[in-house]
Structure 1
Amino acid sequence: MHTITTENKAIKLVFDKNTSSWQYDKQNIKYGLDSYKDHVSILICPTTAKNFSFLIQRYSEDDNFMFTDKFLQDYKQELIQDQELAIKRKLLKEKLTLENIQSRPYLLDYSHLPEDIRKPFAHQQLELEHAVRFPAFYSLDEMRLGKTRVAIERHRFLKENLNRIDKSFIICPVTLMYTWANEIQKWMPKDKASYLMITGTRENKLLEIGLMKDKVDFFIINFEGVSSIKEELLNLINSRTNIIIDEFIKIKNPSAKRAKNLIDIGLKTEYIMGLCGTPVSQGSIDLFSPNLIIDKGRKFGFSYERFIEKYFTRNGWNLVPKHSAHELISDKLYENAIRFTRDMCFDMPDKLYIPLHIPLPPENQSVYNQMVTFAMAELEGKEVSAPIILVQLLRLSQITSGFLKTPEGKILRFKEQPKIQALRENLEVNNGKPLIIWSRFIPEVKMIAELLQEMKISFGCIVGSAIELNEDERQASNNIDPSSPLGKLLAILKPEANTIEAIKEAYREMVKKLHPDLNQNVSKEDIDLLKKINNLYTSVNRFQNIELPKDMNTSSFVIPDSSLGIDAFTRQSIVERFQKGKIQVIIGTAASGGEGLKLSRAQDVIYMSNSYVLKDRLQSEDRAQDVVEKHKVSYTDIVCQDTIDIGILQILMGKKSVADVITKDNLRNMAKGGK
């Protein structure tokens, strides 16, 4: 056994032939290096374990390897370098602040970025300075402060400036995959913004990886997708791979399959960055599993039971933190972590806009594509006005919002609700902060209310009169007496009778055959009404050709009266309860969030769907702003990728109403996510 000593450090190493593993002891307790793979062991790693494992990998390629003098010299040098780096990190923390960071040269060249977003915020610049100096790093900034940009630029610095990595693997919730893809394209130079989204069946994932593994810089996969191709990922990821884990707090139970998979993957590389805006949403106990992955157990060890014994006491099923436990855990965490809150970021604008891109599930996408075809057929060969086109847009927006209203007036919900799921994930990490959620549709407001009630989150609902989705033609047909001549005509009118002359002829034929005693003259009002009705029924016939999923269903959920504000008195009561902190969330339609509502307690606003009217958007945004005391507010738009959501948001951000821009000619392009 050899002993290597450095200042205040002593590590004894031995090769145990019985276990075929390298071992070292500390304070007379032996630990096996293979314990890195035994996550229920009691291994407590010294701070230099990464140096030890690094050299073991380098030297153990030879089966006859023994601890030679060369190994000992190299290992001692690793320890010295580690100490020097620790000193540099300490100086970095002491010298660089938000106040002086902007006088420091940028680490990267940003000339490829547009002028309006080129300069990083001070906290992003400071965070990047720290992130590139720690192979394992935690970004704990408050939500919506731009952690994603820092993570992408860290990849760029590690690859281009330090030549430490070749590629990055991004592991995140499924609702964030498109957001990462868009952020990569936004912040990376065009020739280095290649990425692969690993989705679909196991066979499809492996095929895509096989084709693209040497052609892309970023791989994006969701937490659930890792398990089906774990072994292949272990072969693909190596010491020159950077791993980014977004919302790492979702990895809580160290015995769960998700955690075990990521622990094994994390052992393949030292370069791991964890992102989370609420690292202790349920308490500091949640940090144990992420520590196993990101820090290899160096902070809190490898034993969950030991971690609990050290920092918590048991009170039945509950775990109560010991005195100063949070402070001790926090001190360890922030050795290689940084956190900024919104109040600290002095150079951020009062309004920060953040689009959250999510995919439509396959069944929802199928109905959406059919509805695009349906909408174009409805407008084909007709002179149409903006209001008529908006009716078609409404149908598409309904689908991206998770429901569909049939011509019979029935509200059908899709089984999979991607926007509601994205909202759920936002609420899970919101930490009880006040929030406003706006929607375009009453059915969607009801789904939001249902979710909040399920999650036991207090809320108030502000709506005006229910948004009417029925077309004028539908209203007209509802008022017709089926026994009248018009009603009887409606029953036999052919869909192809879509001109005034054709309708007149059909009417005359009906009168001649069925009602010879009736006057064959048709008034202009009757003709106009008949044409509207005929157009409606042509539409109904086409609509019936759309194949809807069999598992679509209706809901009987009703928003409680105590949470509903539909008149001036009840609205003001809900506003006052929100401002006083008695309810956490305000939900409603953006059209009802107009002038007179003061909801300035909120610093976060989420748009599930948008009104097509610019005034509704601007006024609903301003509800969270205090005219006297300005404060920073973030506005998150949950939008379905490659759908009408994108085009509508772009138009509104361009300070225009949708009706001012939309035409029959650009409808198809907008439906696919363009302007």
Structure 2
Amino acid sequence: MKFKTKPFKHQLEEFNAHKLDVDRALLWEQGTGKTKVILDTVAWLYLNNEVDGLLIVAPNGVHQNWLQDQFPQHYPLPEYTAILWESQRASGKGFQIKLRQMMEDPKGLAVFAINYEAFITEKGQKAVEKFLTMRTVMMVCDESHKIKAMSAIRTKRIIQLGRYAKYRRILTGTVIGNSAFDLYSQFLFLGEHILGYKSEYAFKHRFGVFVKTFMQGRYFNQLVKYRNLDHLKKLMAPYSSRITKVEVLDLPDKLYTKRYFYMTSEQQKLYTQLKEEFMIEVKKGEILTAPLAITRMLRLQQIISNFVPTGDNELSPVGTTNPRLECLMDAIDSSQGKIIIWARFVEDIRQINKRLTLDKIEFVEYYGDIGSKERISALNKFSTNIKTRIFLANPACAGEGLNLQSASTVIYYSNSFKLIERLQSEDRAHRIGQTKNVTYIDIICPKTIDEHIVKALIEKKNVASLVNGDNLAEWI
């Protein structure tokens, strides 16, 4: 089989040695190329009549990344039939027809990408069960640390449905989140035979020491320490591979990826309404200067970030939930080490601040409202305090001159239109003293202005200079 993109050494070794393994865990850090290995593997299995379907289970938005970015870039075969689960459209007649066609009569490999949240719903569960029983499937749980809680409905259903798959894979760089016990459910999805424990209770008491503790009127077993972890590693070793970015010497210095989310119905309604108003202006031939066109785009950006200006310098949330913020938290959860988060709007920073504080994630801020002494303190704390994980900043303020190479993950929560701010902010982590490859994550709402902005910036184009009143329709 001819690869579409040339594999790195560690990818080729994994493919050659383990493409026929029934159960396999790729415990590779973000940015080391887990997805490509899966796509090459499933293509080979398809050509050799081992499978005719691929089920991708991933966090919301990440499942879209597989179909929109990874398949076109890496899948080596010319044909495949793919469908993306979208909860808002799952009940629609058109979606159900496409889903049935993909299952019954696909051209090439049948590919079904679904998010973890869908397993809580009966529709999602039934759709997956039907796919697994109609096709011969490789089932992949991407960012499998999302199924670490054995008591969760989605974890139970995913483990149960995994029995229908001919091949199973788990992918995660976050091998252990808060506890070594997080491994149990992930490897149980692959197969009970790997770790050899029928219950989570038995697993925990084999690898942990507990004492009975009385607190707040009740007794419970409190973990004192872990034990026998070398034995646990031996059990996992034949079925898993661990790769870190430091180990992979032939990776590019900069690694770019995207995470997708969808607006709420309130956001979508407001976004569509505002977009239509702007299009009417264009069609009427009204004169729009470049600054005015930029302002129109900025308003659309703000809606996607879940706020709108209401006059007198006041801002109002569009709805009670913020999908962009949830997407950010998923990205943080899936990343290791220190992280830089760039946000265009001060309101973005305020919303992120509130959420990080709620989730008890230590961070520092660096933007226009922060005084000079506080900025110096923030830089020092981020660089020297191992517990301070997040540097939350505005690229217009902190994008130039700062040394932030203690971070190897950079997340663009929202982008400005200025190429210089993007380039300079990228270089805060990618500079002399950086010993790791740097991963850049753009958070994007599909089929919106987000996609146009990120595409232009990555192609080293200055959005602000490209937009004028005449071509506004092309951007929105």
Please give the TM-score of this superposition, normalised by the length of structure 2. 0.89
- For 1:212-251, list aligned pairs within 5 A: 212-213=102-103, 214-215=105-106, 217-226=110-119, 227-229=121-123, 230-231=125-126, 233-238=128-133, 240-251=136-147
Secondary structure at the aligned position of 1:140 is classed as strand
**Residues in 2 aligned to 1:618 and 1:193: alpha-carbon distance in whole angstroms:** 36
Code of the aligned partner of 1:218: V
Distance change (3 Å), C-alpha of 1:370 and 1:304:
same
**Among 565, 570, 592, the residue aligned to 2:374:** 570
Code of the aligned partner of 1:295: G
Aligned to 1:422: 327
Code of the aligned partner of 1:134: D
Code of the aligned partner of 1:428: D
Distance change (3 Å), C-alpha of 1:253 and 1:573:
closer
Code of the aligned partner of 1:179: N
Please report how far the alpha carbon of residue 186 of structure 1 lies from its aligned counterpart in structure 2 after TM superposition: 2.5
- Cα offsets for 1:602-653 (capped at 9, x unmatched): 1111000111111111111111133355642111111111111111111111
Contact 1:594 1:620 (8 Å CA) reproduced: yes
**Residues in 1 aligned to 2:77 and 2:130: alpha-carbon distance in whole angstroms:** 28
Aligned to 1:539: none
Please report how far the alpha carbon of residue 397 of structure 1 lies from its aligned counterpart in structure 2 after TM superposition: 0.9
**Among 420, 443, 446, the residue aligned to 1:641:** 446
**Among 627, 652, 660, the residue aligned to 2:457:** 652
Secondary structure at the aligned position of 2:61 is classed as helix
Secondary structure at the aligned position of 2:385 is classed as coil
Please report how far the alpha carbon of residue 321 of structure 1 lies from its aligned counterpart in structure 2 after TM superposition: 4.5
- Cα offsets for 1:290-309 (capped at 9, x unmatched): 22211244423222222122
Distance change (3 Å), C-alpha of 1:385 and 1:580:
same
Distance change (3 Å), C-alpha of 1:280 and 1:364:
same
Contact 2:405 2:434 (8 Å CA) reproduced: no
Q: Does 1:361 align with 2:264?
A: yes
**Among 394, 398, 409, the residue aligned to 2:302:** 398
- Cα offsets for 1:380-427 (capped at 9, x unmatched): 423332211100010011112221123453312232211110111122
Aligned to 2:367: 463
Contact 1:350 1:630 (8 Å CA) reproduced: no
**Among 92, 100, 103, the residue aligned to 1:210:** 100
**Among 27, 39, 52, the residue aligned to 1:152:** 39
Aligned to 1:607: 412
**Residues in 1 aligned to 2:18 and 2:320: alpha-carbon distance in whole angstroms:** 41
- For 1:340-489, list aligned pairs within 5 A: 340-379=243-282, 380-413=284-317, 414-431=319-336, 433-464=337-368
Structure with larger Rg? 1
**Residues in 2 aligned to 1:642 and 1:131: alpha-carbon distance in whole angstroms:** 38
Aligned to 2:467: 662
Please report how far the alpha carbon of residue 181 of structure 1 lies from its aligned counterpart in structure 2 after TM superposition: 1.4
- Number of positions where the alignment pairs a residue of Structure 1 with one of Structure 2: 455
**Residues in 1 aligned to 2:26 and 2:40: alpha-carbon distance in whole angstroms:** 13
Code of the aligned partner of 2:204: I
Distance change (3 Å), C-alpha of 1:168 and 1:296:
farther
Q: Does 1:336 align with 2:239?
A: yes
**Residues in 1 aligned to 2:222 and 2:41: alpha-carbon distance in whole angstroms:** 39
**Residues in 2 aligned to 1:665 and 1:194: alpha-carbon distance in whole angstroms:** 38
Please report how far the alpha carbon of residue 590 of structure 1 lies from its aligned counterpart in structure 2 after TM superposition: 1.0
Coordinate RMSD, CA, aligned? 2.2
Where relative contact order (Cα < 8 A, 6+ residues apart) is larger, the structure is 2
Contact 1:172 1:247 (8 Å CA) reproduced: yes
Aligned to 1:533: none
> Greater share of strand residues, 1 or 2?
2
**Residues in 1 aligned to 2:153 and 2:448: alpha-carbon distance in whole angstroms:** 35
Aligned to 2:198: 302
Contact 1:267 1:296 (8 Å CA) reproduced: no
- Cα offsets for 1:185-228 (capped at 9, x unmatched): 32225742421112336644655422331326200111221341
Distance change (3 Å), C-alpha of 1:391 and 1:132:
same
Contact 1:136 1:270 (8 Å CA) reproduced: no
Aligned to 2:218: none
Contact 2:257 2:440 (8 Å CA) reproduced: yes
Distance change (3 Å), C-alpha of 1:278 and 1:571:
same
**Residues in 1 aligned to 2:77 and 2:50: alpha-carbon distance in whole angstroms:** 21
- Cα offsets for 1:222-275 (capped at 9, x unmatched): 122134133453343147211011121111233432122112211112301111
**Residues in 1 aligned to 2:474 and 2:351: alpha-carbon distance in whole angstroms:** 29
Code of the aligned partner of 1:655: K
Please report how far the alpha carbon of residue 286 of structure 1 lies from its aligned counterpart in structure 2 after TM superposition: 1.0
Contact 2:287 2:469 (8 Å CA) reproduced: no
Aligned to 2:59: 173
Distance change (3 Å), C-alpha of 1:155 and 1:361:
farther
Code of the aligned partner of 1:180: W
Distance change (3 Å), C-alpha of 1:232 and 1:221:
closer
Contact 2:61 2:327 (8 Å CA) reproduced: yes
Secondary structure at the aligned position of 1:305 is classed as helix
Unaligned residue ranges in structure 2 (runs of 5+): 214-220
Secondary structure at the aligned position of 1:342 is classed as coil
Contact 2:408 2:438 (8 Å CA) reproduced: yes
**Residues in 1 aligned to 2:148 and 2:399: alpha-carbon distance in whole angstroms:** 41
**Among 590, 604, 611, the residue aligned to 2:395:** 590
Contact 2:140 2:170 (8 Å CA) reproduced: yes
**Among 149, 163, 173, the residue aligned to 2:49:** 163
Code of the aligned partner of 1:419: R
Percent of pairs with identical residues: 28
**Among 185, 195, 218, the residue aligned to 1:289:** 185
Contact 1:170 1:244 (8 Å CA) reproduced: yes
Please give the TM-score of this superposition, normalised by the length of structure 1. 0.64
**Residues in 2 aligned to 1:277 and 1:288: alpha-carbon distance in whole angstroms:** 16
- For 1:266-277, list aligned pairs within 5 A: 266-277=162-173
Secondary structure at the aligned position of 2:294 is classed as helix
Secondary structure at the aligned position of 1:612 is classed as coil
Distance change (3 Å), C-alpha of 1:456 and 1:642:
same
Contact 2:36 2:75 (8 Å CA) reproduced: no
Distance change (3 Å), C-alpha of 1:164 and 1:221:
same
- Cα offsets for 1:550-596 (capped at 9, x unmatched): xxxxxxxxxxxxxxx333x3212211111112522111111112332
